[in-house]
């Protein structure tokens, strides 16, 4: 958990670089706790002093139990997401009252998956108006939102769906989206039209997977 706290505080790139350098320097060696702390301060903490200030390194290393700066377990975070989502679904709070400013990608995905079977196109419109999910810059969120847009027949997202399928070539994204489209005759015709234009941009493995979906009409 201490390592996770460091990663969240300094970012994955800085933390990965620190780990690689640490392993290169101390491979097959043992070092003391104080040596580790000195190395940590000289190689990582010094890069972002403001982030290091609140970490309480000595508390992590020497004190019993978890320090106050310990990351909140993701299960607790997801439970909080569900509580807020449920309150919105029951009409107890507005979307603007949901505390999303510090949500991770995992929390956003959990929120969308949790409400997916409980909303209709009008709910999609309300979410889009508040959070602009159709134009999210996060591919994972965009994918989940577009799956829901197909399921709910949310037409305002269709333009972005076509752009997504024409610009994103990863099989993990495009195959399920085509799989959702082919569930209706109209959707299958549209999927075929999109695929004819997008096919040259796809990797051969992706092309084969999508072709099978379109041929057999399944995800």
Q: What is the CATH number of the domain that holds 13?
A: 1.10.390.10
Domain range for 30: 2-62
Residue 188 belongs to a domain: no
Q: CA–CA separation, 157 vs 148, rounded Å?
A: 10
Residue 55 belongs to a domain: yes
The pLDDT of residue 53 is: 65
Q: How many domains does the chain have?
A: 1
Query: Who contacts 30 (Cβ-Cβ below 8 Å, separation ≥6)?
Result: none
Residue 49 belongs to a domain: yes
Burial status of residue 122 (CB atoms within 10 A of its CB: 0-12, 13-18, 19 or more): exposed
The pLDDT of residue 42 is: 92
The model carries a pTM of 0.66
Q: Measure Cα distances from 2 to 6, 27, 28, 144 in Å.
A: 6, 20, 22, 31
Residue 151 belongs to a domain: no
The pLDDT of residue 209 is: 94
Residue 56 belongs to a domain: yes
The pLDDT of residue 83 is: 96
Model pLDDT for residues 38-81, shown as the tens digit of each residue: 999 999 988 877 666 667 788 888 777 777 667 666 688 899 99
Model pLDDT for residues 4-30, shown as the tens digit of each residue: 888 877 888 888 899 999 999 998 889
Residue 210 belongs to a domain: no
Contact 140, 146 (CB under 8 A): no
Residue 50 belongs to a domain: yes
Residue 36 belongs to a domain: yes
Q: If you search the block for the tokens 């104080």, which residue do you land on? A: 34
Query: Who contacts 24 (Cβ-Cβ below 8 Å, separation ≥6)?
Result: none
The pLDDT of residue 6 is: 84
């Amino acid at each position: 958990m201490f390592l996770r706290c460091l990663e969240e505080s300094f970012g994955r790139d800085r933390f990965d670089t620190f780990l690689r350098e640490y392993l290169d320097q101390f491979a097959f060696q043992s070092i003391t706790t104080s040596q580790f702390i000195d190395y940590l301060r000289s190689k990582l903490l010094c890069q972002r002093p403001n982030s290091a200030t609140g970490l309480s390194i000595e508390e992590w290393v020497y004190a019993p139990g978890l320090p106050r700066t310990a990351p909140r377990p993701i299960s607790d975070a997801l439970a909080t997401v569900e509580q807020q989502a449920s309150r919105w679904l029951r009409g107890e709070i507005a979307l603007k009252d949901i505390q999303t400013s510090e949500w991770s990608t995992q929390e956003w995905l959990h929120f969308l998956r949790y409400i997916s079977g409980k909303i209709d196109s009008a709910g999609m419109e309300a979410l889009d108006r508040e959070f602009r999910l159709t134009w999210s810059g996060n591919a994972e969120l965009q994918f989940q939102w577009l799956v829901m847009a197909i399921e709910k027949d949310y037409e305002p997202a269709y333009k972005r769906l076509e752009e997504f399928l024409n610009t994103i070539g990863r099989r993990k994204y495009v195959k399920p989206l085509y799989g959702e489209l082919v569930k209706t005759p109209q959707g299958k015709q549209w999927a075929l039209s999109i695929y004819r234009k997008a096919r040259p941009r796809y990797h051969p493995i992706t092309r084969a997977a999508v072709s099978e979906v379109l041929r057999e009409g399944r995800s």
